[in-house]
Structure 1
Amino acid sequence: MTSPLPHSSHEVVIRLMTADDLPAVLAIQARCYHADLHESAATFAAKLRHSGDTCWVACDGTNRQLAYLFAQPAAYLHPPRLDSALDGDPTAARKANTGADLVLHLHDLAVDRAARGMALGDRLVTRAFAAAREAGLTRLSLVAVQQSGAFWGRFGFAAPDHPLPQGFTEELASYGGDACYLVAPAI
């Protein structure tokens, strides 16, 4: 059970994630996702090491973590596998996908139940769109789980408008049966 937010929580700050945030991030993940979608501390640490400039937390006035977003460069139509630390390395993604269209992949967004209704998810996604534009990327991608498609649709995310490559379904399998790959222009 989560405790109510302190009064000072109205002063929300979005900042880059640090390794010190990982215990709180793991706790938020545990409260927000089905157990079969949990990623390990090692995976989160690797993603943070390799893409720390696109991983954020939203904190209240007491520096209590309320929400987080892990984002990383990835090849278009090749989302990182769930709980795979090796996929956290954008340099490896670039080398493995030479010539591929890179996107900013929003890998994991979670808002603690106690902070719902504060538009923290919206603020974190807006930050990711700005980061994608600053990096010169033309689009973002994600894998929607737990019936979150309507939330993502508000930001322009939709299924690609062309047939998906053969084997793509297998790439999504680690995310569960309801997983859906979505993309949005970085405008």
Structure 2
Amino acid sequence: MPLISIRRFARSDLAHALAIQSEIYLVSLVESETSFSSRLDAKMPYCLAASVKGQLVGYMLAHGWRRNAPPPLGTPLEEVGSAEILFIHDLAVATAGQGLGIGRRLVDHAFDLAVHDGLKSAELVAVEGAASFWKTMGFVTLDATPEIAAKLAGYGRGATWMGRTIG
């Protein structure tokens, strides 16, 4: 098994991460560079990069956020007052890195960082049938208020609101 390096996401990773995003997601889920990079500027960023032999093969965009308030897909992130939860916005692994446990390692690393900062739970919107992966990571489906359901519609058919405790 190749050595996998997990580290903070750097601005220099942006072009490679956008290429992975385009490779992995349906066109309707691909975000602009502005929207994508706004996650890097969040008050409590937990954005991570995974590399094998110096090549970016996966990334995770996550940040501190308000409970039960997923940001709309494709819009630049606006500043949040105080963070209540870890919001996992995006997790993508290039085809070349799949099957190596990279996604799990990125999530576990983000959990460690968030718990260190005092966050006790995580939330996300699972897209394109990814809910089964997130269930293996301990996430459960949450009840979506009408407001959350309206936002989920922007994430595509079958988007699932999920959460779990961490730490």
TM over 0.5: yes
Q: Which has the larger radius of gyration?
A: 1
Q: Conserved in 2, the CA contact under 8 Å of 1:25 and 1:65?
A: yes
In structure 2, what residue type is equivalent to 1:93? V
Which structure 2 residue ranges, 5 or more long, are not aligned? none
Instruction: Give the aligned partner of residue 94 of structure 2.
Output: 112
In structure 2, what residue type is equivalent to 1:173? A
The question of 1:167 aligning with 2:159 is answered no
Richer in helix (by share): 1
The superposition leaves residues 63-87 of structure 1 with CA deviations (integer Å, 9 ceiling, x where unpaired) of 21000000011111111111111x2
Distance 1:177 1:53 in 2: 28
The question of 1:50 aligning with 2:42 is answered yes
**Alpha-carbon deviation of 1:49?**
2.0
Q: CA RMSD in A?
A: 1.7
Percent identity between the two aligned chains: 31
Distance 1:26 1:114 in 2: 15
Q: Conserved in 2, the CA contact under 8 Å of 1:103 and 1:139?
A: yes
Instruction: Give the aligned partner of residue 22 of structure 2.
Output: 30
Distance 1:176 1:117 in 2: 25
**Alpha-carbon deviation of 1:53?**
4.1
How many pairs does the alignment contain?
167
Q: Conserved in 2, the CA contact under 8 Å of 1:143 and 1:182?
A: yes
In structure 2, what residue type is equivalent to 1:14? I
**Alpha-carbon deviation of 1:43?**
1.3
The question of 1:184 aligning with 2:151 is answered no
**Alpha-carbon deviation of 1:44?**
1.7
Distance 1:49 1:57 in 2: 15
Q: What TM-score, normalized to structure 2? A: 0.93
The question of 1:132 aligning with 2:114 is answered yes
Distance 1:48 1:144 in 2: 20
The question of 1:64 aligning with 2:55 is answered yes
In structure 2, what residue type is equivalent to 1:94? G
| Residue of 83, 93, 96 corresponding to 2:80 | 93
**Alpha-carbon deviation of 1:37?**
0.3
Distance 1:22 1:43 in 2: 12
Which structure 1 residue ranges, 5 or more long, are not aligned? 1-8, 96-100
Report SS of the residue matched to 1:167: helix
Distance 1:51 1:59 in 2: 25
